[in-house]
Amino acid sequence: MEESTRVVESCKVDLVFETADSPVHALSKIDLDINKGDFVSLIGPSGCGKTSLIRVIADLEKPTGGEIKVNGFSPEEARLKRAYGYVFQSPALYSWRTVEGNLKLPLEIMGIEKAEQSKRAAEALKMVDLTGFEKKFPWQLSGGMQQRVSIARALTFYPDLLLMDEPFGALDEIVRDQLNEHFHKLWEQTQKTVVFVTHSIPEAAYLSTKIVIMSPRPGKIIDVIDSPLPKKRTLDMRETPEFLDLSHRIREGLRAGHSYD
Amino acid sequence: MNWLRTSSFVSISTVLAFTAVIWYAAAVYLNSAVLIDKYERHKVEWDFSKLVDDSWSMDRPIMPAPHQIIFDLNKSIFKQKISSKRSLIYHGWVTISSTMVGFAMGGILGILLAVGIVHVPTLNKSVLPWIIASQTIPILAIAPMIIVGLGAIGVTGLLPKAIISAYLCFFPIAIGMVKGLRSPDPIHLDLMKTYNASKSQNFWKLRWPASTPFLFASFKVSIAISLVGAIVGELPAGARAGLGARLLTGSYYGQTIQIWSALIVASVLAATLVFLMTLLEKGVQKRMGVRL
């Protein structure tokens, strides 16, 4: 019963990069279970391996030790089955494609028929509130809009798992707040499992059901906090004592991680 | 906008006028020695204004004056039947056809080589040095070898010239396209990987469109070079037609005016080819949403 709801299962995962001078220990003995419907944030200072971990889940890096399963398969098998949608830190839109063309890119690759492509592109665009921008080219959109298009692109092929690597990291505070609220609603509607890399404490506290705190050199997990906040959230909640308490716990955790240095 | 146009007109005509002044002066300077020598042998009275007049109207000047070239161009372009051996349109057409065939062959070869180099690591190591070496051989040295060699197996006419022009013009295309096909960001390649895209999808949906700016930059260089290749290809075999042949006969008989006319036609052709390529590029850019 519980097995079937496990989306990511990692056991003692290690990742070492061989570099010219000395090997870099990006991940060390990562044990982490992510269940269906979880919103898991990976938070920590730069170099703590949060991006490496999400890339291992996505099969963009091969772990050098330990075992990891995605939907019960190896990350590679899961990738070949197109089990996840990945959102990068930058929008990574193709400048020569319109918004609609960009949304159709994964669908073209996956061999989905033309009529269905248009339907799904329109649907995804609606989800991120950008209906009407189909024919625009990326440079005609603001940074926040581009990132929304890139989220929509990850939704077009209905993956159950979303892997997001600091998707709002390059945006200003105001746009980030808006997108956080918007994305929280989207997550509520779609019930997807999300793994979310961030270095913003309020962002992690606001969005997550589970917060994984990591520390660097070597990258490891030092604490996992299950959010006490209710599932439905508003931006105003960030002023409540529960929210502040949660933020405090995250901050303490991050500080503890740093004291290892 | 209007002001800009006027100003570019002004600057172009200034440059033209300036060039003409220098040219006329150079014609007097370069032709004077021959003329003065002639005056002295024939004991002709002369002064500076006679020298200037004569140096701008010689039959076989060392440096013809611009108006002499213009008269010759007028004579050999507009006053001849297009099919005549004296028509520069006829000769230009001969050269342009081998240019186009050569450019097409060089373009395909260059692109195929670049695709191979980008996708096959062995080719990257083995072929690239040879490509670079091929361009260190002076074209004037290898052109006769190609013409003679192909002539020996019965290939004559347009094809040998086109091959020489392809030999020259595949190089910038191959080098440009290797760079262009490698230009996608790692993040774009990662994105394709998350979609489990095939090699050919990676190529057609990412590498190829990402390389188009490089493709056109190379094309603009190559199309001018392939014209040079076609002209060079007409020199060694003593071809009877083409701008190269005009240059050759001109230099046999000391017809400097004819040489200059052919040179001017060649450069106008090159400029036109590059201009047409730029138009094509603009059209493609528009379709690809490039901010112009």
Specify the CATH number for the domain of residue B263.
1.10.3720.10
- One domain for residues A137 and A10: no
Same domain, A150 and A207: no
Q: Could you write out the three-class secondary structure of chain A?
A: CHHHHEEEEEEEEEEEECCCCCCEEEEEEEEEEEECCCEEEEECCCCCCHHHHHHHHCCCCCCCEEEEEECCECHHHHHHCCCEEEECCCCCCCCCCCHHHHHHHHHHHCCCCHHHHHHHHHHHHHHCCCCCCCCCCHHHCCHHHHHHHHHHHHHCCCCCEEEEECCCCCCCHHHHHHHHHHHHHHHHHHCCEEEEEECCHHHHHHHCCEEEEEECCCCEEEEEEECCCCCCCCHHHHHCHHHHHHHHHHHHHHHHHHCCC
Instruction: Answer for the pair B263, B244: CB distance below 8 angstroms, yes or no.
Output: no
pLDDT above 70 as % of chain A:
97
In a domain, A122, yes or no: yes
Predicted confidence band of residue B190 (pLDDT cuts 50, 70, 90): very high
Query: End of a domain among B30, B63, B96?
Result: B63
For residue B292, the chain A residues in CB contact (below 8 A) are none
Give the count of domains, chain B. Answer: 2
Count Cα atoms within 13 angstroms, Cβ side, for B64. Answer: 21
Do A126 and A9 reside in the same domain of the chain? no
Let me know if residue A88 belongs to a domain.
Answer: no
Q: Does a structural domain hold residue A179?
A: yes
Read off the pLDDT of residues B12-66 as tens digits, 9 standing for 90 and up: 889 999 999 999 999 999 999 889 999 999 888 888 898 999 999 888 899 999 9
**Residue of A59, A80, A92 with shortest CB distance to B187:** A92
Average pLDDT in chain B: 90
Chain B residues lying within 8 Å of A59, measured CB to CB: 193
Q: Does residue A89 belong to any structural domain of this protein?
A: no
Residues A183 and A226 in one domain: yes
For residue B271, is it within any domain?
yes
Instruction: Say yes or no: B51 and B95 in one domain.
Output: no
Which stretch of A14-18, B101-105, B172-176, B235-239 has the lowest confidence by average pLDDT?
Answer: B235-239
Q: Is B137:B123 a contact under the CB 8 Å cutoff?
A: no
Residues A206 and A223 in one domain: yes
Indicate the residue among A134, A158, A182 that finishes a domain: A158
The interface predicted TM-score of the complex, written ipTM, equals 0.89
Q: Mark whether A167 and A250 lie in a shared domain.
A: yes
User: B119, B112, B220, B212: which is closest to A94 by C-alpha?
Assistant: B212
Confidence of residue B253 (pLDDT cuts 50, 70, 90): confident
Do residues B118 and B27 share a domain?
A: no
Q: Do A82 and B188 touch (CB under 8 A)?
A: no
Do residue A200 and residue A252 come from a single domain? Answer: yes
- Asked which of A158, A186, A206 is the last residue of a domain, the reply is A158
For chain B positions 133-162, those within 8 Å of chain A (CB to CB) are none
pLDDT tens digit sequence for B103-142: 999 999 999 999 999 999 998 888 888 888 888 888 888 8
**In angstroms, rounded to a whole number, what is the distance separating the alpha carbons of residues B61 and B256?**
7
Q: Of the spans A23-32, A149-158, B78-87, which averages the highest pLDDT?
A: A149-158
Is B206 in CB contact (< 8 Å) with chain A?
yes
Question: B157 and B94, same structural domain?
Answer: yes
Query: Which of A158, A183, A211 is the last residue before a domain boundary?
Result: A158
Residue A259 pLDDT > 60? no
Say how far apart CA B93 and CA B84 lie, in whole Å.
12
Higher pLDDT, A153 or B82: A153
pLDDT at A261: 47
Task: Please tell me whether residues A166 and A247 are part of one structural domain.
Answer: yes
* A37 part of a folded domain: yes
Closest CA to A70 of A7, A11, A12: A7
Do the domain assignments include residue A74?
yes
Based on the structure, what is the number of domains in chain A? Answer: 2
pLDDT at A204 over 80: yes
For A211-257, give the DSSP string.
EEEEETTTTEEEEEEE--S-SS--GGGGGSHHHHHHHHHHHHHHHHH
Shortest Cα distance from A121 to chain B (angstroms)? 16
Q: Are residues B118 and B261 in the same domain?
A: yes
| A33 and A69 belong to one structural domain | yes
Do A152 and A167 fall into the same domain?
no
> What CA–CA distance (Å, rounded) separates A61 from A85?
16
B35 and B130 co-located in one domain: no
Same structural domain, B130 and B269 = yes
Q: Is A1 a residue whose pLDDT tops 60? A: no
- Asked if A84's CB is within 8 angstroms of B194's CB, the reply is yes
Average pLDDT over residues B248-277: 92
Which of B63, B78, B96 is at the close of a domain? B63
Q: B76 in a domain, yes or no?
A: no
**Domain span including residue A120:** 94-158
A139 touches chain B (CB under 8 A): yes
Q: Is the dihedral of CA B100, B103, B108, B111 positive or negative?
A: negative
pLDDT at B3: 60
Nearest CB among A79, A96, A137 relative to B194 is that of A79
Q: Is residue B69, in this structure, part of any structural domain at all?
A: no
Q: Is B101 domain-assigned?
A: yes
Whether pLDDT at B147 is above 90: no
Residue A4 has a pLDDT of 56
Look up the domain containing B19 and give its range: 2-63
pLDDT in tens, A142-154: 988 999 999 999 9
Dump pLDDT digits (tens) for A127-174.
888 999 999 999 999 988 999 999 999 989 988 899 999 998 888 888
pLDDT of residue A235 exceeding 90, the answer is no
In-domain check, residue B181: yes
In chain B, residues 208-227 whose CB comes closer than 8 Å to chain A? 209-210, 212
Residue of A88, A92, A137 with shortest CB distance to B289: A137
Rounded to a whole number, what is the distance in Å from the CA of B196 to chain A's nearest CA? 6
Residues B130, B191 within the same domain: yes
- Given an 8 Å threshold on Cβ–Cβ distance, is A60 in contact with B193? yes
A31 and A151 belong to one structural domain: no
Residue type, A226: D
B189 touches chain A (CB under 8 A): no
Chain B contact present for A58, CB below 8 A: yes
What is the value of pTM for the model shown?
Answer: 0.84
Question: Are residues A71 and A175 part of one domain?
Answer: yes
**Domain for residue A203, yes or no?**
yes
